Homo-oligomer: A and B are copies of this chain.
């Protein structure tokens, strides 16, 4: 493993340190080590948009290696301005590879620059640049100018914020080439730090502990992937492949999660999209090529193009809002990427506003005269712009549905669709109990990606009855631990969570790459559990407990009115009880115990929580 680079924007101090080997053995890399580094350096209780917040950028042990489904993943851990919890955002772009080639596995960014700044890292040298002229620019322009005209090297990899990040939109993104640090407001944190951009260039070689063995294992990995049905679907459609399926099983949130089946969905589905796709692309070395460059050929949105839309955006600017116009979804996605806002959160905020308007809680007085009607594509696009620029009603919606509903009041909290402040993604928790429980108990709030219930949604690797409560606590714990381990490595989420290839080939690859025996699948799950507990402890330290593991009243009170999942509600309390039990935590408070923490070699964490009065026993 390489080094940790620490950059303080306030005093422009730069330092380096080595990764302790015991940390690597316990947390591997990626999300795990980034969570550990963050846990160690962060004080609880700080404002995520203050200079005291810190971001830990990190790569995994496979970053930049000739491995399938892993080579370009990287993560940022921090405290989110949407949730006030621990957060991890992940991205696939060559920035991770560049960071590693520049000699770093992790980079801590802290403090606040006096004026708009960019940070450029080239092979161990750090430069602070004046970004005043870039302030106000969209992400595409900022990246272009930075690469071509400021740094004059198009091979530099960049991560930039747009106008939304500058304006502290709480779900602002960081744009990295055509991909994003999408969720949790990473862009707002950079904006609050006056950090317009990070740019990295490195050309050092990346060492491999056991190159021959790695090659052999990757050959096996390729064989397995090539045989998987999921690989083919993903190659053809990208994540949009699941659009029809999620609707068919009645798990597709429609009209702000009132229904779970979108009658008009075929206009938006993946096969419609593939006809507009001009190019498959993906991480370097990966055979799957799940990125779909899509464009609008004719009509009022002609000329719009995007690396996407992903399934979530199809939904958040499409079905969620009763908008079947795919062209407008693409155009909305273009704007969101240019301005730098998370399409999931933005869509859910728009859905919230539309429901509030329907109920008379918002009126044309609040909206500069705009009628917020379901399915009105022009209104959707205008709201994306207004949110990004915090213009008019957009200023309220830029806070996210949690704060917006608290400000708005009048019962709007009941249909503010978030968990711990993070807007919910394109899955209704009611018909998928483990998948839903994964979101409820997620340490980063309403994310589907952190404990995905593939067994319920796809029947992978084995089908589990999605309506049943039986064993769902343990299943969720397993999924969460497995994905936590996966994001340390950093494996791509799609093939690994659905087991398009066997887990043991994955653990062996990590061993071959690092020269460390992490203990096979059992070791992997233990590492995942350790990470999960550490992340949980971060939140406990911030004051989170069982009371916060909840979800919008709609899911608890309103049975799904119709469709394939009619009648389902989310059985919160019994599922939570199951979950804490399976975690080995205190069921009453939902807090980790000393026994569990010590079992996971986290005695220091237990000691700290005890001191804070947050250890149940």
Contact = CB atoms under 8 A, between A and B. Distances in A.
A41 interface: no
7 contacts: A136-B278, A137-B305, A138-B295, A145-B278, A147-B154, A150-B279, A154-B155
Contact of A339 (B140, B279, B281, B303): B303
A22 interface: no
A338 B303 contact: yes
Interface size class of A (residues with CB under 8 A): 20 to 34
Q: Per DSSP, are chain A's interface residues mostly helix, strand or loop, or mixed?
A: mixed
Interface in A388-416: 388-389, 391
Given A137-B278, A278-B134, A339-B303, A293 B155 contact: no
A295 B138 CA distance: 9
A335 interface: yes
Interface in A252-286: 278-279, 281
A148 B154 CA distance: 10
Q: Max chain B CB contacts within 10 Å: which of A133, A134, A302?
A: A302
A303 B335 contact: yes
A297 interface: yes
B138 A293 contact: no
A141 B303 CA distance: 9
Contacts of A611: none
Interface string A311-340: 000000000000000000000000100110
A13 interface: no
Interface string A338-361: 110000000000000000000000
Contact of A278 (B141, B163, B279, B388): B141
Interface in A360-392: 385, 388-389, 391
Contacts of A212: none
A573 interface: no
Contacts of A145: 278-279, 281, 293
Interface string A282-315: 0000000000010101101011010000000000
Contacts of A279: 133-134, 145, 149-150
A338 B305 CA distance: 11
Nearest to A150: B279
Contact of A305 (B138, B155, B335): B138
Given A137-B295, A303-B138, A281 B385 contact: no
A141 B338 contact: no
Contacts of A338: 303
B302 A385 contact: yes
A385 B391 CA distance: 28
Contact of A297 (B133, B136, B295): B136
Interface in A155-197: 155, 163
The 9 closest A-B pairs by CB, nearest first: A154-B154, A141-B305, A149-B281, A303-B338, A138-B303, A133-B278, A145-B279, A136-B297, A133-B279
Interface string A117-139: 00000000000000001101110
A391 B138 CA distance: 30
Contacts of A141: 278, 293, 295, 305
A598 B293 CA distance: 58
Contacts of A297: 136, 163
Contact of A155 (B136, B155, B385, B391): B155
A480 B134 CA distance: 41
Contacts of A298: 389, 391
A303 B138 CA distance: 6
Contacts of A305: 137-138, 140-141
A155 B156 CA distance: 11
Contacts of A335: 303
A293 B142 CA distance: 11
A332 to B, nearest CB: 12
Nearest to A141: B305
A278 to B, nearest CB: 5
Nearest to A306: B141
Residue among A136, A141, A145, A281 with the most chain B CB within 10 A?
A141
Contacts of A155: 154-155
